[in-house]
Amino acid sequence: MSDAPNAAQQAYWNDAAGRTWAEMQEPLDRQLRPLGRAAMAALAPKPGERLLDIGCGAGETTLELAAAAPGGEVVGVDISRPLLDVARARPAPAGVSFLEADAQAYPFDPASFDGVFSRFGVMFFADPAAAFRNIRRALKPGGRLAFVCWRSLAENPIMTAPMAAAVQHLPPPAPPGDPHAPGPFAFADPERVRGILGAAGFADVALAPHDEAIGGGDLRTAVGLSLRIGPLGMMLRENPDKRDVVVAAVRDALAAYEGPDGVKLPSATWIVTARNPA
C-alpha cells in the first residue's frame, strides 16, 4: 500500500466504492443536493472568485459553484478517479477544472483561493488538523470556508431506517469502532470540529444545525441506494441467502416515507463556516 497519508481512503474510493458511487451518481446527487446548497449559501460565492471544492466527487457541486461565481475559477479536487471520470465528462464552462489529489497533502498555491467548499468531503482525513492547515494555507487572508457534514448516525433516519429494517433478518453488525476514525460521522461532535479548525488556524468557527428531509427519487430508487451505498450492501454480500427478505423489509420501511416527491427521510447535518484570519 502507498505511504501517502490517506492511502487507505485512496484505495477505498478507487475500488468498488468509487465505482458504485459513480454508477449511482444521479440519485446520490439528487439526495445530497439540498444539503450542499445549504452550505453553498453559507459560503456566499461572488462573481469572479477563485474557489476550491474539496471532495468534489462527480462534479455537481463544482459546476454549481461556477454558476454562483460567474467569471471566476473553480477547482474540484478528489482522490477517486472513477468519480472524477464522471466529473470530467460533464459539460463545464471555462474556469472549471478537476484535480486528482489528496487535499491533506497537495501543495496548493498559497493564498490562491477566495473560498473553500465541501459537501461531505472533509470527514475522511487521517490527520484532519494537518489537512485543514494545508487547506487554510491555500486561502487568501480573510478567505472563507464552508462545508456540510453529518451529525450523529442516530439523528439520521436517512441511514438508520433501512438498516433497522434489515438487521432484523441479518447477523448482528460489528460493534461501532472509534467514532473519530475517518468516515461519514467523524465530525458529528461539534466541539471536535471546533478544535480541529482552531488548531488549523481558522477563526470565526461556527456550526449551525441543519435538518431537512432528503431523498434520491421514487421507492425503487430509494431501495437501490440503501442496498448499494454504505454498510448494508456489504452485509448483504456476506449473507446472500437473506437478500430477498432484507429487500422486502427495506422496501416496506421506506414506503412509509413515500410522498408526491418520492421517498424522503429526515437528515441531520452541520453547516460549518470559518475564516482564514486576515
Name the domain count of the chain.
1
pLDDT of the residue at 183: 93
pLDDT of residue 231: 80
Residue 259 lies inside a defined structural domain of this protein? no
158 domain-assigned: no
Domain span including residue 121: 7-152+178-214+267-275
| All residues at 6 or more sequence positions from 269 whose CB lies less than 8 Å from its CB, including other chains | 35, 38, 148, 149, 150, 151, 209, 210, 211, 212
Percent of the chain whose pLDDT exceeds 90:
88
Asked whether residue 261 is domain-assigned, the answer is no
In a domain, 227, yes or no: no
Structure confidence by residue, pLDDT tens digits, 84-101: 999 999 999 999 999 999
Examine residue 190 and state whether it is found in any structural domain, yes or no: yes
Q: Is residue 134 part of a domain?
A: yes
User: 64 in a domain, yes or no?
Assistant: yes
Q: Residues 19-44: pLDDT tens digits?
A: 999 999 999 999 999 999 999 999 99
On whether residue 220 sits in a domain, the answer given is: no
Question: What average pLDDT does this structure show over 152-181?
Answer: 90
Provide φ and ψ at 273, rounded to 5°: -130, 150
User: CATH code at 62?
Assistant: 3.40.50.150
pLDDT band at 1 (very low <50, low <70, confident <90, very high): very low
- H or E element in which residue 89 lies: helix 81-89
| 94 Cβ contact list (under 8 Å, min separation 6) | none
